[in-house]
Structures are given as C-alpha cells and as structure tokens.
Structure 1
Amino acid sequence: MSKADTYRWLEKDSKRTQQWIRAQEEQTNKYFRDTQSRNILKKRFKNLLDVDVELIPVVRDGQYFFRRRKKGEDQASLFLKHGLKGKPVLLINPNTLRFGKIQNWCVSKDAKYIAVDFSLVSNDRYVIKIFDVAKKKFLKDTITSDGYPRFNAWHVSSNGFWYSKGEKGHSIAEEKYFKRIYYHILGRLIEEDELFFGKDLVKEDYPSIKCSHDGRYEIVTVHHALKTTTIYFRDTQNSESKFINITGNIKALSYAKAEDDYIYLFTDHKAPNSKILRRKILKNFLGKWQVFVPELKFKLEDYILLKNYLLIEYIENVSSSIYLLNLKSGKRKNIKLPSCGSMGGYSNEYNDRELFFSFSSLNVPSSIYRLDLRTLGKKLYWRSKINLSSAMSLKQEWVISKDGIRIPFFILKNKDNNQISPTLVYAYGGFGFSLLPGFRSSVIPFVENGGIFVLANIRGGGEFGKEWHEAIIKNKQHKRFEDFAAILKHLVDQKYTIPEKLGIWGGSNGGLLMSVMALRYPNLFRVALIDVPVTDMLRFQHFHGGRYWFHDYGNPDDKKMRKYLLTYSPYHNVGNENYPAMMIMTAEHDDRVHPMHSYKLFAALKANKKQNNTLLLKIERQAGHGGSGKLEVTINKLADMFYFLCKELGIKV
C-alpha cells in the first residue's frame, strides 16, 4: 500500500504519457489477436446490436418525429411522418454529417425547428445546432462547445430558445462550472445572446429552464452540488413578471411543472420516497402547497403531467410500475406492464390523446407502447426483432449485508441451468441512480453459453429512495463494498458458482466499486471488468467537474474526509499480493471521469511484483465516457471484454 502519488505525471497529456500509453496498448493488442473464440463472440454481438431500432416518437399536433436506425448504420436518423400511419420522411442522417453523435434533440412547439445537441467524440462537450424542418437544412445558428452548453427549451413562439453554458474566461479545468442560462434569438449572432438567469449563482450551481405548453409559465431549476435544488417560478402574465423562489431554503431534491392553474412539485423534502405537492396559481400570488400524491412505501420515480391526468411511475421492489391519476376525480388506474422490468422513457403532448412509453426486461428486448388516453387502453407500437431463447429465466433474490440490511439482486440464467456456473455480477451503487432490470444485449451471449448474470442493487442507488442512496455517502462508502461482498458470498454459498468462476463488472462510479473489490476482496472472485473508473480519491476534484461528486464522496480537501478516502482509494491501496485478473477500460476523450484514473491505477498494479494474474489496459480512441457511439467499435469492445472474461474464467465459447 502506498500513499505516495508516484504516477501523478500520468495526469498530463505529455510525450512521456503518450509513450507509456502506446506501450500498454501494444501489450493489450497482443492479448486480443484474432482468435476463433473472440470472432464467435463478435458475430453474436453483431447479430444482437446490428438490428433495426426505433425510438419513442415526439408528437407535435399530429406530426410524429422519431429516430430510426437501420441495420448497418452507426446512428439512428431522425424522421418525420404526418399522422400515426404516415410515410416516414428523412430529416437528419447523422451518419452522413461531420457533427458527431446526436445526444439530445427537441422539436419546437410549432414543429418548424429541431434543436440538436451533437458531440463530436461522444463526450460531454456538445454543440447545439438548429434544423429547419421545411427547408431540411441546418441554420447558421450554432452554439459552440465552449462552456459545455446544453439546450434547455424553445420559446413558445419558436423564434428563440434558452440554453445553459459556463461563463467565459475560465480555465479548461473550470469549464464545467459557473453555469448560466442564456437566450438566443434565431438569426442573431451568438455574441449578442443575453444572460437570462444566474448572474449571482455560485461556482457549482447548475441552472436549467423549461416552460408550460403555452409558454405562460417559466420554471428555472438550480441544481446545487450537495444533491439539492432551488426552484424559481415566473408567470409571464403577471404584471411584475419576476422569478420567485417557490422552494425557499429547504434542503431537498425537487422538480416542478406548471400547467393551467397549478404548479406541481416533485420533492423528497420530509419524504425519502418522494411525494408530489400542488399549489394553485392565483392572480399576483400563489396558494399554499398541498400534498397531491402522498409518499408511499415504494419510491416515486417520475411523473408526466397531462391535460386531465398525471402519469406516475413507481419503483416497486426494484421494478417499474405506472399509474394514471385522474386530476378531477382522483381515481387511480394501474397500467399493467408485461413483466418485471424497467421503463425506458416517455413522450407526450399536453393533451388527452396519447402517450408513448418504452419498456424492457433483462430477458425481454425493448418495446414501445402507445397509450390511448381516451380509452386508457395500450397497444404495442414497436417491438425489437432481437431473437432470444425462451429458456432464459429471471428471478430476484435477497441477501443480508454485514449491518443486517436486506440487499436485492436479479439473476438471469437458463431455466435448466442448475449447476455451478461461470457468473458475472454487475453493480453501480451511487448518486441515487436506480439500477433496474432493463434489457442488456451485452450479457446475452454469456448467458447463452451457460453463464449466469447478476444485477446487484446495492445501497447508493435510488431503488428505495433517498435513505437507500444516502446510506453510503461520504464516510459510509464501505457499506456498499460490504453489500457487494455479501452478494458474491451468497452466490458461492448457494452453489450458483465458485470464486474461480466468478467475475465482476462496473463502470464509472461502478468502476470505483470494482477496483475497491479487487483490492479488498481478492479471494472472492477471479476476474474484474473495470470500465472508466474513478480511482484517485484524493485528486478527483481537480478534473472535469469532480466537485459535483462531493455529495457522495466528500471533499478530499477536508482533513477528516481525506483520511477516510485514503482507506479505500484504489490508487493508494495497491498492496503486494496477487490480485484478480483485471481489464481496466477508459476513453481517450472522457471528460467526465478523466483517463488519468485508469492510467494511475494500472501503473500502480503493474509495479506490483506479486501480480501474476492478467492485467490489461484498454483505451477507446475518439470516445468519451459512454464510448464512441460507433456500432463497430462497440461490438469490438464487447467482444474484447467477454473474450477476456471467458478466457480468464476458463470458459469455452
């Protein structure tokens, strides 16, 4: 174990660093020379991923905008059809452009324009471009990538839009901070854009704006570094027309929507599982908050505001469920979902005609459903053509962690597989992110070949609300490590697998988890797949918006937190023993978790003379935190990952 920062030089993109990177890549490439097993995996991943895909449509007064990717294409193109059964017309094909990957898009209320967030190398640095639907071409209006801009909302007139970005004049290291909201009028120079909101916000505050469907109400949400929000509201028909703070000084995570005569507030204030409040909008003042949807024993995950309904999504025992609440009668109707699984998104206009949503499960590929809001009946709109064996079964089990808390996890395997088997366990456990059992094409070949895939819902996520998340923050991070260890031990105790056939996998915050597990529990498993990990817990705050992570990790500049962080920081805790085989993966242009985290941990592990198990460093070029977005690159990465896993576990593909 070393507390010294021996490899700090790897933080800089220097000639020395590049030489070191090339040397590691040479070793990695030797390991992945084309083999029959890898080619078999690659072919199966191609069959799973290179298929026709359609995404949820966005509706504007009978016009349906949607994305569709055809087999053989990297990205989904953007289409328009007039009417539900109209003929699709191609609008934007990103595969023929040089703008990069489409990250987000938003259609103006009158359907004349589409704002598109592009990322050249699929990282967090976006460019905002505006597409003219009638002329089928992009306008000159472009918000450049400086300050990490994000499109927020169209003005109801469609003559302009709001976007957030960092102030000018800050260093690259500070570029993700000092966010403000600006307003751009189409046709004007970007330099003329006015500062709309946020002049006095502090460094880590992140504001965004949205409007009611008619543009009357404007709501600004300011995210603070410590996982709280402040909500500002403005009625543009009010004679004073000023933003007012509607959440006061409460320390809570809240989101608001406003339509017609009411403001709705989704909040976890005095409600760990969240609730929805409502207050009436009166002339020149607001009524009192009243509980509209009370807190229940299950986590309230999301809500969609419709003309006469509120669609509510819950997480019940780590599975999505949705209900329609009649705003007038108060009656609630359960919208039955196909199975245990995960919602993938919604799309609707503010009316009572229709709503689209997607759903999937670990053993059920994604489908899109259309909910008729007049009859409340749902119909299948689109279904993935991925063919899966009906022999795959999904079940949920629970285990007791070290401190007595029950921890759930899902098991995906073939129904007739009742023997000790190669097993891969995936987890994240942080930032309140709920890890639901949605479809993952990446694990299908492993299960088809007799493996078992486990999705672990350790504490740190949002599956059971705010308390589940905050049970592991700051100086309680060890609890999520113990949760994960309990699941691994349970799988061995229950004869699902043995340590020699057990692998673990996680990315980003989950990559931190896997790194810690490899160093703390080296005898529990054989292989670790560690993707874009955070590993230097003493210096993460100096890179790419790392200060936004203080709520979960704490501030390394605080002496007490620094002492605790040193107890588990992977880079600082590499000892002198033979750790499990590890494949550490990063991306060349990752501007969320800096590649230095992967480089420094790998260098420390390589210097360990007792390490006999395989160590590999895999660097994805021209890619960001979520990968390059290119289909062939993704297929090759998965083939490499699972070839490594299978080889190190002794599995014949």
Structure 2
Amino acid sequence: MEEVDKYQYLENLDDPRTKEFIEKTNNETTERFGKEAYKVYNSILSILKEDNPISILALKDRALVLFYGNKNSIASLEDKREIYTASEGYVISSLQRVYNKDNEFAITIGKKGSDKTRLILLPENKVIDEMADNPFYINKELCYVKTYAYTKPPDGGEFPSQRIICNGEIVYGKDLKPGQFISVKVIGDEILLVKSNGWRWEELYYGEDLSNLRKIDEGEVIIPIKEGPIYIKNNTIKAGKPVKVEYPIIDATAGTNFIALEVIKNYRTSIVFLEDKEIKEGNNIALSRKEENYDNVVSMDAYGDNLYLIETSFNFRYRLYKNMNVLLESKEKEDFRVSDIYVNNGEVTLHGFLLSQSINPKGIIVYGYGGFRVSLLPFYSVIFSYLLKNGYSVLITNLRGGYENGEEWHKDGMLLNKKNVFKDFEKFIEVVKSIGGKVIAMGGSNGGLLVGATINDIPNYVDCAIISHPVLDMMRYHELYVGKYWVEEYGNPDDPKYRDYLLSYSPYHNIKEGLPNTLVITGINDDRVHPAHALKYVMKRKVDFNDKNVFLLTLDKGHAISDPESTAQELSYEIAFIEECTKK
C-alpha cells in the first residue's frame, strides 16, 4: 500500500514551508555553482540575443515571422519591417492565422516568467481574451478556443478543458472532458474541427455550423489540410481515393493548387509536394521525384503559390526559405561532426545522433525525451554548442514514445509500454559507459521523468544527471495543474489497470541511496508541470536519504518559452554543474 505523502504540502506554493525550502535550496545551489555560472552567463546570453525565427505565417501579400532574441517581435520577411514588438517585460509565445480574415493575424503574449497568455488581434492591437488561441471568423463573428486550465468553465464543466467562444458566449465544447482539447480550421463556410483525446486518439468533425457538426472520421493522427474536406489520417491523405504516403507525416499546408507534406525520413525531414489533381486521382506516393530534403523544418506555411519554411540543424541555427530559395540565415555556423549511430536493445534497433568535436571528450551528454509523439530531429542548441566547443560530446537519442518511426513507435512507449522508453535510453547509456565515457544524462519535462526513472534503474552507469521542469510524481501528476491532459499518455493512477505500473517506475516513489550527482531545475511560474514535482523529489532525497549530491534551482520562469535572460541563467547553471560534476 502506498505511503502517505508527507511532502504533499510542497504542492502549495504559498505555504511558508515551501517558500523556505525554495529559498534554502536556491541559496545552496547558488553558493555551489553561482560563481562558475556567472562566468559563462554573458557569452550564453549574447548568443540567445541573436535573432532567431520561431515560426512563420503566410498571408495573401506577405509572410510574417516571429523572432526571438534581443527583440521579441513580428516582422515582415520580405522587407524585414517590424510589425509588432513585445513591450518590456512581455514575451510573444505564438503567431497565429485568423481564419477567414486575410488582413488580420494574431499573437499570444504573456509576462516574462509566466506561462499565462492573452490573445491579441493585429494589426488593430485588440486584446481578445486570456488563455485563448486559434481565432477564426464564422458568419462574420470572431470566435476562438479558450482554455480553462485552473477554474471551471462558466457552463460548470470540469477542468482543465476547452471551449469555443463566439461573440462572448460559449458555443461549443460543453461535452468536452478534462484532458480533451480541440483545434479548428475554417475555410470559407467549411469548418474542420479536431477533438483530441490526449496524444492517443483524434476525431474529425465537419460542417458549416458549430452547432451542427458531424463526425466524419477518427484515428490516431488527424491533420486537416483544406476544404473538401481534404485531411490526413495517420499517413494517408483522405480526399476521394486515399493517397498513402510512405513515411510518418508531421505537418501539412496547402497552397492554391498544391499540398506540401512534411515527413520524417532517415531521422530528418523531407517536404513532399502533391498537386491537387494527383490527390483527386489517388495514388500511393513514393518519395523520389517530388521531394526536397532538409535537416529539420520547424515551421511551414503556404498561401497562393508560395511556400515558406524555417529549417534548423545541429550546425546552424536557422534558414528561412521562400519557394526553396534561402532568404535569410543565421550567423551561427558550426562544424561539429554529426554521426548517425544505431544500437540494438534486443527488441528494436535504436537511432541516435552523436555530435562531437573533441577526440577524447570530458564527458558525453546523453539527451532524451521519449513521449507525446515528440521527435528529436536535428536542432540547434545553445548549450550543446557551448559544451561541444569546450570538450564534451552530445548524444541525441531517438526513443520509443516519440514519432520518428510513426504512431506504432509512439504507442510502444506510452501507457503500459512506458518502461520501453527507459530501456531504450539505458541502452544508449550502457554503450557510452562501456567505452569508458563519463555519462551526463539530461532531459526536461517528460524527459525529466525519463532521467529520473533511469538513474533509479542504473545509478552506477550515470555520473551526472540534469532533470529540468520534470514530471516525477506519477501518483499525483493528474491532480496538479493540467496533468489530466497527460492521462492518455501515462495512464490514470486512480485506475487499478495503471496504478501499480505507474508506481513501479515513478521517480519520486523509487528514490534509493547512491544516486548520481543531480541538478533539478524548475520554474515557480510553470503552469504546465507543477514545481512540486521537483520540490518533493529533492526534499525526499535530501531528508529521507541524506543525499548531499542533489541540488535544486527554482527560477522565476514558466515551463517553455522564456526571455533570453532567464534562459541564459538556466543554461549557465547547467554548464557549471556539468563542469564540476565531470571533474570528480
């Protein structure tokens, strides 16, 4: 029988004991690593302040780009003119299309250090609502999707949940259960609405009136593309005769007479082009004559005859394309060796990217995620670039639970298959250890769960561990903030079918003596993963196991997107921790 959680009070961030613990552990971590972190802070910050395009939006007469860096702004791609710049103390978190309004677009924006945002309609700079996105017009009324993450919606439903608001009134979503979410695409009079049950199952609804939508299909992955309706179900385009695509599809966009598909091929992305007439005829698509290969396309959008892309990779931060021509690229260009490596764990063959510059590295950072259909494709990392230049190697692992090999790969790492992810990660670590390398296991969010479970399983194979913004208490994750959204991925702890399995690997519940040096980082304003996961985990290691090798840093930030200064602080402490840990 599970013991009473004596540290549950740490879930109350206003409890004086919680505040005292945060202050005490921050002081300890600052005293231990602050001096060395300060030495690298400015160099990290200077890189983070370089312009970095996050997403692109194609409009009728131009393309808009969301930039991070010294200025957090929206700019026109063609003439580089700034359209909107975030005010001091605020961060733009997304750039969004306003369906059925070619002359409007929208952003979500929030205070630095917070995940709470509000939706603003541009160019008129009109604030629409808090915790809202996905704006569209239907019958000349502005509508949007609103998330009720912390309070019940006005109709009395449970939370976290979502509703569609039109003209200030809830018009759709009263039947949505906690953990379900929706997305809407509106083209002319046609509405394509996807209702998602976590990252497990999706339903497509279609019609011309939100009050009278009909379900036309369901499947594991549904991506609406254009009117008709034309949409993707798993790796098949549905439009008259089905069109089967050979590789996992992760995104799609449509121009006037074409569709561009982003697929994963050889752990990188390719863009496949289809003409409307080919789709109507229906054929299986072999990737050969109609594809362009990239390392990792992170944002893609089309309008009319134009297709825009943002690409990233391990050796460059970004390239911006219009119709396959580079319009803008980053100053940062590295020359790291990138090797594709394959290992077999007895069940499956696993792929990883080994990044190196030194012949005899001081240590190897083994990085993983393994969940929620997240694919670890080539990406530019400020901290990895720094570490590579300073004597380390980096191993990026493609684990079950991601989407690198399609939905079956994802399902093999979720629910009652979750331990497969840990097994995959541990195999990479064992290989590194077998050749005499020092192992720094690293992961954030769901990747923090991965690292926490791994060091419980094989503590002697890991020299250092970094666990950031982690999910660690698998018995109460669904009770904290928006954790109910993850039940379809992890399983419900209140269901006997999953409870014992979750308890068997929950990092918080399986702490033992002799764990490696560990730095745990969380954000006090993290509205996605409750800081209590990190706080309780560190408290238990320190008090119950007298562990003097675990450190906690609680920052004034949220879960994901943040300002350069907060990010630089976090990365600087990680670097300082790694440098000290690998000297032992």
Contact 1:511–1:531 at 8 Å: present in 2 too?
yes
Does residue 258 in structure 1 map to residue 226 in structure 2? yes
Tell me the residue number matched to 2:366. Answer: 425
Alignment-mate amino acid for residue 221 of structure 1: V
How big is each residue's C-alpha offset from its partner over 1:584-616, in whole Å with a ceiling of 9 and x where there is no partner? 01000111110110011001110244635x211
Q: 1:582–1:232: structure 2 CA closer, same or farther, 3 Å change rule?
A: same
2: CA distance, partners of 1:588 / 1:206: 25
Moved more, 404-413 or 3-12: 3-12
Does residue 345 in structure 1 map to residue 291 in structure 2? no
Tell me the residue number matched to 1:287. Answer: none
Tell me the residue number matched to 1:118. Answer: 109
Does residue 11 in structure 1 map to residue 11 in structure 2? yes
1:309-328 correspondence to structure 2 within 5 Å = 309-328=258-277
Contact 1:574–1:605 at 8 Å: present in 2 too?
yes
Structure 2: unaligned runs, 5 residues or longer: 280-284
Contact 1:60–1:110 at 8 Å: present in 2 too?
no
Tell me the residue number matched to 1:142. Answer: 128
Does residue 412 in structure 1 map to residue 394 in structure 2? no
1: CA distance, partners of 2:505 / 2:538: 16
Tell me the residue number matched to 1:336. Answer: 292
- Select which of 87, 91, 98 maps to 2:83: 91
Alignment-mate amino acid for residue 324 of structure 1: F
Contact 1:544–1:594 at 8 Å: present in 2 too?
yes
Contact 1:176–1:544 at 8 Å: present in 2 too?
no
Q: Percent identity?
A: 23
1:134-213 correspondence to structure 2 within 5 Å = 138-139=125-126, 141-143=127-129, 145=130, 149-155=131-137, 160-166=142-148, 170=152, 176-184=159-167, 193-212=168-187
Tell me the residue number matched to 1:645. Answer: 578
1: CA distance, partners of 2:433 / 2:409: 26
Does residue 291 in structure 1 map to residue 273 in structure 2? no
Does residue 357 in structure 1 map to residue 357 in structure 2? no
2: CA distance, partners of 1:301 / 1:80: 26
1: CA distance, partners of 2:55 / 2:504: 45
2: CA distance, partners of 1:437 / 1:11: 36
Tell me the residue number matched to 1:246. Answer: 216
Does residue 620 in structure 1 map to residue 576 in structure 2? no
How big is each residue's C-alpha offset from its partner over 1:74-116, in whole Å with a ceiling of 9 and x where there is no partner? x4212347xx3x4x443322134x6544433435655543322
Does residue 510 in structure 1 map to residue 492 in structure 2? no
- Select which of 582, 591, 598 maps to 2:518: 582
Q: How much has 1:559 moved relative to structure 2? A: 2.1
Contact 1:112–1:158 at 8 Å: present in 2 too?
no
Contact 1:544–1:591 at 8 Å: present in 2 too?
yes
Q: 1:56–1:21: structure 2 CA closer, same or farther, 3 Å change rule?
A: closer
Tell me the residue number matched to 1:542. Answer: 479
Q: 1:448–1:80: structure 2 CA closer, same or farther, 3 Å change rule?
A: closer
How big is each residue's C-alpha offset from its partner over 1:441-473, in whole Å with a ceiling of 9 and x where there is no partner? 220111111211010011111111111111122
Q: 1:519–1:80: structure 2 CA closer, same or farther, 3 Å change rule?
A: same
Alignment-mate amino acid for residue 483 of structure 2: G
2: CA distance, partners of 1:54 / 1:256: 25
Q: How much has 1:48 moved relative to structure 2? A: 2.5
Tell me the residue number matched to 2:61. Answer: 62
Tell me the residue number matched to 2:329. Answer: 383
Structure 1: unaligned runs, 5 residues or longer: 185-192, 269-273, 280-289, 372-377
Contact 2:225–2:252 at 8 Å: present in 1 too?
no
Q: How much has 1:428 moved relative to structure 2? A: 0.2
Secondary structure in 2 matching 1:607: helix
Q: How much has 1:514 moved relative to structure 2? A: 0.6
Alignment-mate amino acid for residue 316 of structure 2: V
Tell me the residue number matched to 1:271. Answer: none
Q: How much has 1:582 moved relative to structure 2? A: 0.3
Tell me the residue number matched to 1:77. Answer: 73
Q: 1:178–1:76: structure 2 CA closer, same or farther, 3 Å change rule?
A: closer
- Select which of 417, 420, 423 maps to 1:479: 420
- Select which of 392, 395, 418 maps to 2:339: 395
Tell me the residue number matched to 1:283. Answer: none
Secondary structure in 2 matching 1:51: coil
Q: How much has 1:561 moved relative to structure 2? A: 1.6
Q: How much has 1:633 moved relative to structure 2? A: 1.9
Contact 1:324–1:333 at 8 Å: present in 2 too?
no
Q: 1:263–1:514: structure 2 CA closer, same or farther, 3 Å change rule?
A: same
Secondary structure in 1 matching 2:353: strand
Alignment-mate amino acid for residue 308 of structure 1: N
Alignment-mate amino acid for residue 340 of structure 2: Q
2: CA distance, partners of 1:345 / 1:226: 20
Moved more, 473-482 or 511-520: 473-482
Q: 1:108–1:63: structure 2 CA closer, same or farther, 3 Å change rule?
A: farther
Greater Cα radius of gyration, structure 1 or 2: 1
Secondary structure in 2 matching 1:572: helix
Q: How much has 1:347 moved relative to structure 2? A: 2.0
Q: How much has 1:264 moved relative to structure 2? A: 1.5
Alignment-mate amino acid for residue 221 of structure 2: L
Q: 1:387–1:256: structure 2 CA closer, same or farther, 3 Å change rule?
A: closer
Contact 1:207–1:222 at 8 Å: present in 2 too?
yes
- Select which of 589, 592, 605 maps to 2:541: 605
Alignment-mate amino acid for residue 304 of structure 1: T
Q: How many residues align?
A: 575
Tell me the residue number matched to 2:411. Answer: 470
2: CA distance, partners of 1:67 / 1:549: 28
Alignment-mate amino acid for residue 242 of structure 2: V
Q: 1:411–1:605: structure 2 CA closer, same or farther, 3 Å change rule?
A: same
Q: 1:110–1:10: structure 2 CA closer, same or farther, 3 Å change rule?
A: closer
2: CA distance, partners of 1:459 / 1:569: 18
Contact 2:524–2:554 at 8 Å: present in 1 too?
yes
How big is each residue's C-alpha offset from its partner over 1:137-177, in whole Å with a ceiling of 9 and x where there is no partner? x23x531x3xxx32213227876233333399629999752
Alignment-mate amino acid for residue 146 of structure 2: S
- Select which of 447, 451, 454 maps to 2:395: 454
Q: 1:257–1:420: structure 2 CA closer, same or farther, 3 Å change rule?
A: closer
Tell me the residue number matched to 1:49. Answer: 48
